[in-house]
Amino acid sequence: MFPIIARREIAPGIHSLWVKADRVASKARPGHFVILRLHERGERIPLTVVGTEPEKGLVWLIFQEVGKSTAELAGYSPGDALLDVVGPLGQAEPAGKVGTVLCVGGGVGTAPVLPRAREFKAAGNRVIGIVGARNRDLLILGREMEETCDRVYFCTDDGSFGHHGLVTDLIPLAQAEHGPVDRVLAIGPVPMMRAAVAKCGELGLPVTVSLNALMVDGTGMCGACRVTVGGVTRFTCVDGPEFDGAQVDFGELSARLRQYAAEERLAAERFAARRKGGECQCRGA
Amino acid sequence: MPGRVAMPKQPPGERRKNFREVALGLTPELAVAEARRCLQCKNPPCVTGCPVQVPIKEFIGLIGQGDPAAALKRIREKNLLPAICGRVCPQEVQCEAKCVWAKKGEPIAIGALERFAADHGAADAAQPGRAVASEASPAPAASTARPSRARVAVVGSGPAGLTAAAELARHGYRVTVFESLHAAGGVLRYGIPEFRLPKSVLDAELDGLRRLGVEIECDVVVGQTVTLEDLWAEGFRAVFVGTGAGLPHFLGVAGENLNGVYSANEFLTRANLMRAYEFPETDTPIRTGRRVAVVGGGNVAMDSARTALRLGAEQVMIVYRRSREELPARREEVENAEEEGIEFRFLQAPTRILGDERGQVVGLEVQRMELGEPDASGRRRPVPVPGAEEVIPVDTVISAIGQGPNPLFIRYTPGLATTAGGQIAVDENGETSLRGVFAGGDIVTGAATVILAMGAGKEAAHQIHRRLEGQL
């Protein structure tokens, strides 16, 4: 069992979670993810590692309530434990010194951006952050990004904070204000990554994305997470999750992410109904 | 001379709707009768067909005397997982093929008898799956056991790893098995369905290993969660790697990433490990669709097809590019599948998967084949019949055409030599290019059978023992 040390709702429906997993904490690096499971009937949930405190054996995760399992996880508190935490998984190539790096996060995608931004900064790069969200309330990790980056631009879809518009508006702005950009990292919802990749293409900027494909085992065994990158089938879990954005078939990724939409809806509705009915303590079989 | 007994089975019409075990096991009366058919040959040929040299003649003799407990004890001297082997070994090409009665077409039902001993020989063997009881657990083989107490790590808890762990524990080593998934058993857990190998049987065998002192630690990906360096630092003196053939091959045709296309590994893992057949009571979904095409002709293809049927598919087809004679699956499993209503489309090779505008599979295009000259495997090579294509309307395509070596341990273990095919390279003793690191099973041979992996695990355990005793 992997005890939960802290959980806090940092924005409506977005939670910060610290879990004790000594082996993972000692090995995870920026870019890695873990897979966790709540209970015997639970599914395997992949989440990017946001940070670690290796001396205390702690792993920092951030998740958004998007379905049954994440809604259930949102009900966990210190004193509860996760049945399984396995990792670190995925490839996490160390960030080198490349010059000026744009770190672009959309929505909860800012969570996996933060550790990379910190790593780029530590490697001696000039790091410019771009953080976007639907509105001011849903904007996360603004302070942490400001502490990490040389400059952070904010934007919201409704204009409630920062620039009124999309992260793609700010990529050329950042480039204009800070000179040549050597590398872009863009992580967020698929439409945002797709638009960021298109914008970077126009500007001639190399862009890395991190994909959130559906997974089961996360160790290369099943192929559920396969994506087409550069015309070749790759597995997000063992070949990624970071890929050259210009090579990713985002249309296919979008379709594959919708594969279980009906089942996800059914499970979420059942869970919501049960919770409403007062059966909140449904911690598995 | 009476003929070979038939294994009692659930009737096809019933079993195609449930996940309970198909083969029900021999009754004591049937088992004794079958055991008494055994000629007790002076030089029994059957044992030469067994990769782990189970004393077949002796254990069958004991069953014939009405003593399944003694039979189980004899089996366990050589094979610590008899409840599993009795169910999934391809006896028809191993021990039973060598039986003198095989010439008459009625070899002794060795597999069924092994299973009987495992299910009935334990002290509390009131039901299948209660196979291992303390009484039946082997005493350490006195001649070889020296309590050296060195620690040995086993990477992967599939058939190779579990067998190696059991043998090493019997030699007195302190063994820890590391498993990357959340439950132990490897392919026995995620791959082989409940109706062929009940999980209660696997769990009982795992309990038996734990009683031997083997520790099993799940949620550890060796290479990532801990490295080989960490294992040495933690005090392990040798490592056995049995990480298996866990990287599915896809068809390499257009449309392979459409929704509704599964690797057999994914389909079976969702059903077996994640219990998706209980969704939404469990959280992992599975989409079976009404019409399912399974591509491939091995046991994994049969397992996938029969699982799809039990999940509610109306029509399930096996699409195989060669003919019935070349099917690599066990004959028994092919017969079971046919009885349950699985359709076989022989001499058809997939050329394309068709999808709709939402990216969902709607059809499988196949090319009709005919058999030409024998290829390197000795089987006649399928060659396309020009102009003979067809589209089969399906909702789901399951690719069961084999697996490559799992890459993780190899990638994160510097200095570990591999073959051209990506498998771990080993010497004649099963030792890798890294001293003290041994490997066996599918990660060395490529995808094969449970019992061959178990044979490799057993042999590696002996070589590890020799290495640690300074004899290697």
Residue A219 touches partner B, C-beta closer than 8 Å:
yes
| Chain A residues within an 8 Å CB radius of B256 | 233
Could you say which residues from 377 to 436 on chain B have a Cβ atom under 8 Å away from some Cβ of chain A?
A: 406-408
CB contact under 8 A, B257 and A258: no
Residue B358 touches partner A, C-beta closer than 8 Å:
yes
The pTM of the full predicted model, rounded to 2 decimals, is 0.93
Give dist(CA B457, CA B188) in Å, integer: 15
* Closest partner CB to A37 (pick from B182, B270, B279): B182
CB contact under 8 A, B226 and A264: no
| Chain B residues within an 8 Å CB radius of A260 | 285, 287
CB contact under 8 A, A216 and B266: yes
Residue B253 touches partner A, C-beta closer than 8 Å:
no
- By C-alpha distance, the chain B residue nearest A235 is B247
Q: Which fold has domain A100-257?
A: Rossmann fold (3.40.50)
Decide which of 2.60.120.10, 2.40.30.10, 3.40.50.740, 1.10.10.10 is the CATH code for A2-90.
Answer: 2.40.30.10
**Tens place of pLDDT per residue across chain B (472 aa):** 678 999 999 999 999 999 999 999 999 999 999 999 999 999 999 999 998 899 999 999 999 999 999 999 999 988 888 999 999 888 988 999 999 999 888 999 999 999 999 999 886 444 444 444 334 444 444 444 455 589 999 999 999 999 999 999 989 999 999 999 999 999 999 999 999 999 999 999 999 899 999 999 999 999 999 999 999 999 999 999 999 988 899 999 999 999 999 999 999 999 999 999 999 999 999 999 999 999 999 999 999 999 999 999 999 999 999 999 999 999 889 999 999 999 999 999 999 999 999 999 999 999 999 998 888 878 888 999 988 899 999 999 999 999 889 889 999 999 999 999 899 999 999 999 999 999 999 999 888 888 889 989 999 999 999 999 887 7
Could you say which residues from 237 to 276 on chain A have a Cβ atom under 8 Å away from some Cβ of chain B?
A: 238, 252, 255-256, 258-260, 263-264, 266-267, 270
CB contact under 8 A, A217 and B284: no
CB contact under 8 A, B257 and A256: yes
Q: Do domains A2-90 and A100-257 have the same CATH topology?
A: no
CB contact under 8 A, B259 and A83: no
| Chain A residues within an 8 Å CB radius of B247 | 220-221
**Domains with residue ranges and CATH for chain B:** 12-136 (1.10.1060.10), 151-246+404-468 (3.50.50.60), 250-401 (3.50.50.60)
* Closest partner CB to A220 (pick from B181, B247, B278): B247
* Closest partner CB to A228 (pick from B224, B257, B265): B257
Find which of A27, A222, A250, A269 to mutate to test the B interface (most B CBs within 10 Å of its CB): A222
| Chain B residues within an 8 Å CB radius of A221 | 190, 246-248, 265, 269, 406
Q: Domain locations in chain A? A: 2-90, 100-257
CB contact under 8 A, B224 and A87: yes
CB contact under 8 A, B224 and A69: no
